[in-house]
Homo-oligomer: A and B are copies of this chain.
């Protein structure tokens, strides 16, 4: 287990890389902690959770809603969890978002910790303190920005990950490369998913590189007034698509990135849309889709990143360099 400490404003987060789920009991007190996980994770890894108070939730984004929060809070009260308690989310982004949110509001805040079990959660969702729940078609409409005490990485948990989940994780990895890390972009171009799935050391290095890239971007701008916004590359259209169509998060943001690249070529002269599309395809992600523009525009007008009569859009200037630019809804619609 390799420990790195990253400070986010007043909060310090411990990153335990190359760890193992069984080491969790050396990091948290079983008497005061409650594990939140979902049925899929519990089916695959429940045997490693003996001795922990556990709340097992239904799996899936459809349950990232207030009704789930209400149910967990009732259970925490019944279990007598006090302010010295800790909620440990073991799962993908839905579980880490729910766990972080509930920990932020229960008793006005108890400690949280995460053990991400998907590539997406390892490189993105578990990092940065953003948590929350969906409201109707709007993703993460309610939540807070509150850092966990620690994040424990166990790559062996990925062995049971379905292929669609690998694709979603690679979508965020490609996003990181596109906005901030041109050498990683080129490295990804020279490889493919099978390479990383077969070679644990390469996967571990990729996860750590991405986790630290995201952590450093967030640490420089915890409350998202500047740099952190670039992490939303592909997410403005992506989120508008995700809840309306049967798309995974990775598929939705892959489409969002292609659209943002098109918009970038109009607005910044970005010249590598094709390279981005090719890389996404190489990692099993879609680059084209048919959707109802009117519906999508309607959801986008409700987006959190809305400002006046437009949206703060993340555009690329080149591979590895993103900028934030206010784009009017009219122009967004025209490019769609």
The interface of chain A, by Cβ under 8 A from chain B, is 9-10, 66, 70, 73-74, 77, 80, 82-84, 104-109, 130, 132, 135-136, 138, 140-145, 223, 301-302, 304-307
B-chain residues with CB within 8 Å of residue A140 when the two chains form the complex: 108
- A314 → chain B closest CB, angstroms: 16
Which of B74, B84, B143, B302 is within 8 Å of A80, CB to CB?
B302
Specify the chain B residue showing the minimal Cβ separation from A223.
B109
22 contacts between A and B (CB under 8 A): A66-B70, A74-B135, A77-B136, A77-B138, A80-B301, A83-B305, A83-B306, A83-B307, A84-B307, A105-B132, A106-B141, A106-B142, A107-B142, A107-B304, A108-B132, A108-B140, A108-B143, A108-B144, A108-B145, A109-B144, A109-B145, A109-B223
- A312 → chain B closest CB, angstroms: 10
Q: How far is the CA of A145 from the CA of B105 in the complex (A)?
A: 9
B-chain residues with CB within 8 Å of residue A66 when the two chains form the complex: 66, 70
Q: How far is the CA of A109 from the CA of B222 in the complex (A)?
A: 13
B-chain residues with CB within 8 Å of residue A138 when the two chains form the complex: 77
B-chain residues with CB within 8 Å of residue A302 when the two chains form the complex: 77, 80
- A252 → chain B closest CB, angstroms: 20
B-chain residues with CB within 8 Å of residue A107 when the two chains form the complex: 141-142, 304
The answer to whether A82 touches B132 (Cβ under 8 A) is no
The answer to whether A83 touches B304 (Cβ under 8 A) is yes
